Amino acid sequence: MTAGRPDETMLHAWVDGELAPASASEVAQWLAENPDEAARMAAIQAQRAGLQALHAQLLDEPVPPQLRRALRRPLQWQWPHALAAGLMLGVGLGMGYGLGGREHADMATRARAVPAFAREAVAAHAVYVPEQRHPVEVAAQQQVHLVQWLSMRLGVPLKVPALDALGYHLVGGRLLPGEAGQSRAQFMYEDAAGQRVTLYVSVLARTGSVKAPASFQWTEEGATHGFYWVDGRQGYAVSAALPRDQLHALAEAIYRQLD
C-alpha cells in the first residue's frame, strides 16, 4: 500500500478480513488517524455482520424432503443431468447434510456455523495483534476507566481477567463494532516474548439464535486459534497463535474468573 489514503478495494478487503497482517495493520493505522473513514468502515462492518447473521439458523434445520428424494433418485440421466446431480450432492454435503443416521449427524455438527461474534473475534485479533504503535485504544494503566467505558458501551458490567500467573500481562483494550451495530470489547494481553492473546466480549441479542455450547468450542483460521463460549447473553472468544493446550489453559483461567 502506498503512503496516504488506501483505495476502496483495500478498505473493503480490510473489512472482509482478506488482507495480510502487515497490510491490515497499515490500514488500521490509517483508519486510526482518520476517524470519519473509521466510522464509515465500522458501519460497513456492522452491516456485513448483520447480513451474515440473516437466516443463519437455516444451517441447523433438517434437509428438505424434496432434496432428500432427489439425492436418492437412481442416476439414470445423461451426463449433463448427472453433473447437476453431483453438484447438488456436493452442496448438500458441504452444508452438513448427509443421508441418514450418525453420518448425517456428524457432518451437520462439523459444518455448523460458527457464531458471528466468534468470527468477529478472529478478525479483530488478526487486525490489531500485529499493531505496534496502537494495539489498544486505552492502555492498562487506565484500567479503571477502560472497564467503566466499555461496560457503559456494551450495557453490562465487565471484568478484566488477570492472566499474570500464566505469564500474560494486560496491554489494554478497545471498543469494536459488532453485528447489527452492537458494541464489542477487545482486551489484549502479552507475554515477555511478545506473544499476544485477545479476549473478545459481546452481548448477544435476546432474540439471537446462538445457544450456549456445552463446553469451549474450538476455532481455527490460519495461524490464529481460538476458543469461544456463551454464558447467559454474553459471548466470549479467546484468540492467539498458540497450541490448543496452552490456549485452553488461558480460556479456563478466564472462564473461572468471569464466573
The domain spans of the chain are 56-111, 114-258
Q: Which residue has the higher pLDDT, 37 or 35?
A: 37
Cα separation values, 174 from 105, 131, 198, Å: 39, 13, 11
8 Å CB contact between 154 and 236: no
Whether residue 105 has pLDDT greater than 50 = no
* pTM as predicted: 0.58
Whether residue 156 has pLDDT greater than 80 = yes
What pLDDT, on a 0 to 100 scale, did the predictor assign at position 188?
97
Question: In whole numbers, what is the pLDDT of the chain averaged over residues?
Answer: 77
Pick the CATH number of 114-258 from 3.30.565.10, 3.40.50.300, 3.30.200.100, 3.50.30.50: 3.30.200.100
Whether residue 60 has pLDDT greater than 80 = no
Q: Which residue has the higher pLDDT, 107 or 254?
A: 254
Query: Which pLDDT band, with edges at 50, 70 and 90, does 194 fall under?
Result: very high
**What cell was used for 98?**
448427509
Q: Identify the residue whose cell numbers are 515477555.
A: 192
Q: Which residue has the higher pLDDT, 119 or 91?
A: 119
